[in-house]
Amino acid sequence: MKTVIPLKKYFPEEFLYKDIGTRAMVMHILNSHLSAMTEKPDEVEVDFEEINFISHSAAHEFVKQKQQMADEGISLSFVHMNQEVSFMIDLINRKDLKKPLIHIHRAASSESFE
Amino acid sequence: MEISVHPCDSDDVKQLLKEFSRLLVLLNQAKDEKFITITLKHIQFITPFLALFLSVSINMIKNAGCEVHLEKPHNPDLISYLDTIYFETGVSFQTKEECVSFLGSHSAKSFLPILHFSASEDSLQTEIRDSMISASINLLRSKLNLNAQQINLYRYLIQEMVDNILQHACVDNGWLFAQYYPKKQYLDLCILDTGITILGSFQKHGFTHVDNHLDAIQSAVEGTSTKPDTGRGYGLSSSLKAMLETKSDFILISGDGLLHNQTLYKLPSSWPGTIVFFRIPLSIYFSVYELFS
């Protein structure tokens, strides 16, 4: 059985920008939708229509849940992603991604903000 | 005990930090007092960074059993501004409809009021908080006439920092405040919590080799995550990278550690939590895509 989760229903209609910003929001959406079902689905489609942006953290949580659900025999797929959302989701799957290399230096103990 | 907030050149981030450091020492001392006065009468202006820090500090001092008398500024415009931004208390919401309606009524303002949001992961609070973030982004977009790349950068910063509070701070609430300056052409954005600090989060997860706040901040911005799954630890490092690339200012305070852009300082006193502050020129042209290129 297949079920579709329209993410836009979790936001007020008048929002021009509908963002999934936190891991908690990802879990809330998946849990509230799936717990309301009487039968366990074997296919879950997350519909990103009208979602403008997701954070790196939220994208990571979606991909993590996709892997966990696959282990339980449930297929989780993402549809109607715009360019930004698609970029973030793809980013999580990239194996060559490196964290930004930033050099931090320590102020001498006598150095203040002046 | 009387603590006087001094005027400082708000355009100069180092002066701002100097005043923050001085106030932090005094406010930490005040927790042992029964009664203190905080006077704002010498200032004509207050930045979001100091306004948020003072608001939350006053709350903490009161919660510690100290009575606080706030001496108002002489400048009537500043008095009115403090009222409008919900100085001291912040504003919080019981429903997402309330949040949307309230923030919608601020569309003519150059600031978001001080937002006091729940860090709970329960369903209701999660929907309210994510609606608050989306409504804030909508407000900034409409006020600042931002292009798509700029708005993506702001939403990325807000979302990652709020998520950090939820994931790591072990605290009930977080705070967010933003103000833009049309003449100066920059936006100040400050996100604060009173949680276990970055060091506390490392120690809670068994990173015993990280044993002071400066090391903890350095490890966090270099991308060390306290969680075992791969693909984590990008929030702070990528946010700092974005700020450096756009010649913005980035401040991260946690415990007695303070990072200003790429320089780490030890504070003379400790903040019981974490504060992140961004000062972003409105003229930037930077894509979130570049963060990961």
In a domain, A104, yes or no: no
pLDDT mean over A54-79: 94
Is the complex ipTM higher than 0.95? no
* B264 interaction partners in chain A (CB closer than 8 Å): 104-107
Tally of structural domains, chain B = 2
* A91 interaction partners in chain B (CB closer than 8 Å): 292
CATH of the domain at A46: 3.30.750.24
Contact between B166 and A27 using a beta-carbon 8 Å cutoff: no
Name the A residues in 60-79 with CB < 8 Å from any B CB: 60, 63-64
Whats the size of chain B, residue-wise? Answer: 293
Tally of structural domains, chain A = 1
pLDDT mean over B134-154: 83
Q: Where residue B231 falls among pLDDT bands split at 50, 70, 90? A: low
Cα(B151)–Cα(B149) distance, integer angstroms = 6
**Least Cα separation, residue A61 to chain B (angstroms):** 10
In a domain, B185, yes or no: yes
In a domain, A77, yes or no: yes
The predicted structure's pLDDT at residue B104: 82
Q: Which of B96, B160, B289 sits opposite A87 (nearest CB)?
A: B289
In a domain, A74, yes or no: yes
Cα(B284)–Cα(B107) distance, integer angstroms = 23
Q: Which residues form the domain of B24?
A: 1-89
Give the strand order in the sheet containing B2-4. B2-4, B35-39, B67-71
Indicate whether B153 and B289 sit together in one domain. Answer: yes
Contact between A100 and B137 using a beta-carbon 8 Å cutoff: no
In a domain, B207, yes or no: yes
Three-state secondary structure call for residue A44: strand
- Of chain A, the percentage scoring pLDDT greater than 70 comes to 96
Cα(A34)–Cα(A64) distance, integer angstroms = 16
For residue B264, give both structure tokens: 């780490």
* B238 interaction partners in chain A (CB closer than 8 Å): 56, 99-100
Q: Where residue B23 falls among pLDDT bands split at 50, 70, 90? A: very high
Which amino acid makes up residue B113? P
Mean pLDDT lowest among B10-14, B69-73, B74-78, B212-216: B10-14
User: What Å distances lie between residue B219 and A108, B157, B188, CA to CA?
Assistant: 19, 19, 25
What predicted TM-score, i.e. pTM, was given to this entire model? 0.92
Mutate which: B100, B155, B256, B289, vs A, most A CBs within 10 A: B155
Three-state secondary structure call for residue A3: strand
In a domain, B95, yes or no: no
Indicate whether B158 and B263 sit together in one domain. Answer: yes
Q: Which residues form the domain of A73?
A: 2-93
Residue A57 sits at the chain B interface (C-beta within 8 Å): yes
CATH of the domain at B55: 3.30.750
The predicted structure's pLDDT at residue A112: 66
In a domain, B140, yes or no: no
Per-residue pLDDT tens digits for B162-194: 999 999 999 999 999 999 888 888 999 999 999
Indicate whether B175 and B242 sit together in one domain. Answer: yes
Contact between B134 and A19 using a beta-carbon 8 Å cutoff: yes
Dihedral (CA of B210, B251, A55, A86) sign: negative
In a domain, B105, yes or no: no
Q: Which of A11, A103, A114 sits opposite B14 (nearest CB)?
A: A114
Q: What number of C-beta contacts closer than 8 Å exist between A and B?
A: 154
In a domain, B206, yes or no: yes
